[in-house]
């Protein structure tokens, strides 16, 4: 027996990478593994993604962690550098950094750049990071003039609404991106997972999949399976206790759940301290030894309770699946929590052991 475990299937990961390559065959793949690879375990995921053309993280610190684990492939830092220390570290570790504001350009000019390749970011409507179309040409000239620039800066932007099929906003962002970058040298990158799936014209030279690599759909109302993807994470735990209830018994904090008939209750070792959302309502599905069960009462920090049904034969030590198989996709659990699968995956906490499974020989 053990506590909550996230089993990470690296064969599924490589399958998903292959599916993305099939959808964007002319594009290189920048695999996004920020936030501990969406909760899957960054270093193990990086090692399993040896076929990706580059890796992307949000922060310099994450990139250094990868380098220290021996990951030698190109790494892009999506938020770029924020001070001279980070600029030095980016150079030292050969990190490609995104340049999205004037302050970063000034830092680069004062220090002759990082010595590593750069990506220049255009804001096409997300209004989060990036230069406006009016500022973009000037920013580009300044980067090209840095003494240490190796190749022409890459050109990138980010979709705000690519998860919406046939979104006029996405079309406008794509148009603006193509128009502003027209005539500039440098490879272009726009598509996140949803862009890869919904907007083939946005694939360009580089695509940047995150969620889809992990087998999860960025498109509401669709699961990864619907898109030919396989879930990489299987989040499960073990049955810790059972008890028999009579009609009227209540369960858990606030006595919110009440048995309407005699039934068997299961208790499992997993709670919001493991990343199983507190917001999940009673009735949220689980699977105990492959059989359906329903959450009963509030999620506690270390435990959950669920209705097994009166004739359940579940036993202590049985496996309790929280999400990750095709019968229990994280997309469905996220919807029940009124959240998004990104958040549920990211929030699988430190104390949950990641168990890497693969049919391949271990990577050295
Ligand atoms: C996180 C991120 C991605 C990946 O997005 P998904 O929706 O997970 O595919 C791509 N580009 C940027 C700039 C990001 O921040």
CATH code where residue 19 lies: 3.20.20.10
Q: Is residue 170 very low, low, confident or very high in pLDDT (cuts 50, 70, 90)? A: very high
Q: Is the pLDDT of residue 149 over 70?
A: no
Enclosing domain of residue 257? 233-363
Q: Does residue 39 belong to any structural domain of this protein?
A: yes
Judging by DSSP bridges, how do beta strands 188-189 and 154-156 pair with one another? parallel
Predicted confidence at residue 162, as pLDDT, reads 92
91 and 18 assigned to the same domain: yes
Do 312 and 353 reside in the same domain of the chain? yes
Work out the pLDDT band at 364, boundaries 50, 70, 90: very low
What does the block give as tokens for 14? 């490589």
Q: Are residues 254 and 343 in the same domain?
A: yes
Per the structure, the count of domains in the chain is 2
- The dihedrals phi and psi of 136, each to the nearest 5 degrees, come to -65, -45
User: Which of the listed residues 214, 245, 279 is the one where a domain comes to its end?
Assistant: 214
* 56 inside domain: yes
Say if 84 falls within a structural domain.
Answer: yes
Cα 226 from Cα 32, distance rounded (Å):
22
The answer as to whether 274 is a domain residue is yes
Please give the Cα distance from 344 to 329 (Å, whole number).
11
What is the pLDDT at residue 165?
A: 86
Do the beta carbons of residue 100 and residue 121 sit within 8 Å? Answer: yes
Residue in 208, 212, 331 to alter for ligand 1 test, most ligand atoms within 8 A of Cβ: 208
Measured CA to CA, the distance from residue 162 to residue 90 in angstroms comes to 31
Considering the domain architecture, whether residues 207 and 246 belong to the same structural domain is answered as: no
CB burial class (10 A; 0-12, 13-18, 19+) of residue 357?
Answer: exposed
CA–centroid distance, residue 138 to ligand 1 (Å): 26
Q: Ligand 1: residues within 6 Å at CB?
A: 32, 34, 78, 158, 192-194, 208-212, 218
Within this chain, do residues 163 and 202 fall inside the same structural domain, yes or no? yes
Angle subtended by helix axes 84-92 and 102-110, to nearest 10: 70
User: How sure is the predictor about 159, in pLDDT bands with cuts at 50, 70 and 90?
Assistant: very high
- DSSP secondary structure of 244-282: EE-TT-EESGGG-EE-SS-EEEEEES--TTTT--TTPPT
Same domain, 35 and 155: yes
Assign 215 a pLDDT band (cuts: 50, 70, 90): very high
- Tell me which of 181, 214, 247 is where a domain ends: 214
Flag whether pLDDT at 352 surpasses 50. Answer: yes
Do 204 and 325 lie in one domain? The reply is no
Q: Which of 154, 185, 214 is the last residue of a domain?
A: 214
Determine whether 272 is an active site residue.
no
221 is a domain residue = no
The answer to whether position 226 is within a domain reads no
- The span from the CA of 59 to the CA of 355, in Å, is 25
- How far does residue 210's CA lie from ligand 1's centre (Å)? 5
With residue 91 as reference, give the H or E element that holds it.
Answer: helix 84-92
**Percentage of the residues of the chain whose pLDDT score is greater than 90:** 91
In a mutational test of the pocket of ligand 1, which residue from 32, 154, 177, 197 has the highest number of ligand atoms less than 8 Å from its CB?
A: 32
Q: What is the mean pLDDT of residues 248-258?
A: 93
Residues 163 and 272 in one domain: no
In tens, the pLDDT along 282-337 reads 999 999 999 999 999 999 999 999 999 999 999 999 999 999 988 999 999 999 99
Could you report how far apart the first and last alpha carbons of the chain are, in Å? 30
> Do residues 262 and 191 share a domain?
no
Rounded-to-integer distance, Cα 205 and Cα 209, Å: 13
Distances (CA, A) of 289 to 13, 266, 359: 25, 12, 24
CATH of the domain at 330: 2.40.37.10
Q: Are residues 122 and 61 in the same domain?
A: yes
* Same-domain pairing of 168 and 246: no
Mark whether 34 is an active-site residue. Answer: yes
DSSP sequence for 278-296? TTPPTT-EEEETTEEEEE-
By DSSP bridging, strand 263-268 and strand 233-245 are antiparallel
Domain-located, residue 2: no
Same domain, 76 and 165: yes
For residue 336, being part of any structural domain is answered with: yes
């Amino acid at each position: 027996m053990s506590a909550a475990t996230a089993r990470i299937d690296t064969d599924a990961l490589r399958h998903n990478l292959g599916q993305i390559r099939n959808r964007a065959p002319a594009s290189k793949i920048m695999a996004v593994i920020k936030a501990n690879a969406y909760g899957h375990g960054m270093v193990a995921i990086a090692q399993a993604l040896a076929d990706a053309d580059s890796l992307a993280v949000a922060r310099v610190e994450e990139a250094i962690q990868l380098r220290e684990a021996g990951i030698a492939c190109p790494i892009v830092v999506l938020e770029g550098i924020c001070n001279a220390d980070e600029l030095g570290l980016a150079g030292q570790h050969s990190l490609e950094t995104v340049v999205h504001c004037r302050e970063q350009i000034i830092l680069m000019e004062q220090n002759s750049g990082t010595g590593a390749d750069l990506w220049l970011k255009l804001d096409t409507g997300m209004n989060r990071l990036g230069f406006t179309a009016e500022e973009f040409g000037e920013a580009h000239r300044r980067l090209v003039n840095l003494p240490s620039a190796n190749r022409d800066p890459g050109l990138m932007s980010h979709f705000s609404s690519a998860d919406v099929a046939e979104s006029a906003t996405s079309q406008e962002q794509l148009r603006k991106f193509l128009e502003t970058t027209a005539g500039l040298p440098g490879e272009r990158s726009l598509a996140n997972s949803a862009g890869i799936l919904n907007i083939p014209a946005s694939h360009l030279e580089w695509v940047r999949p995150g969620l889809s690599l992990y087998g999860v759909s960025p498109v509401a109302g669709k699961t990864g399976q619907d898109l030919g993807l396989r879930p990489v994470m299987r989040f499960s735990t073990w049955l810790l206790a059972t008890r028999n209830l009579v009609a009227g018994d209540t369960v858990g904090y606030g006595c919110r759940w009440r048995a309407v008939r005699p039934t068997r209750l299961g208790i499992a070792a997993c709670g919001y301290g493991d990343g199983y959302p507190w917001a999940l309502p009673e009735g949220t599905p689980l699977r105990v030894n492959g059989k359906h069960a329903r959450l009963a009462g509030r999620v506690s920090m270390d435990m959950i309770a669920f209705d097994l049904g009166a004739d359940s034969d579940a036993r202590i030590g049985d496996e309790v699946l929280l999400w990750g198989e095709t019968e229990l996709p994280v997309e469905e659990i996220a919807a029940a929590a009124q959240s998004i699968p990104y958040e549920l995956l990211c929030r699988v906490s430190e104390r949950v052991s990641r168990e890497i499974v693969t049919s391949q020989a271990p990577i050295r």
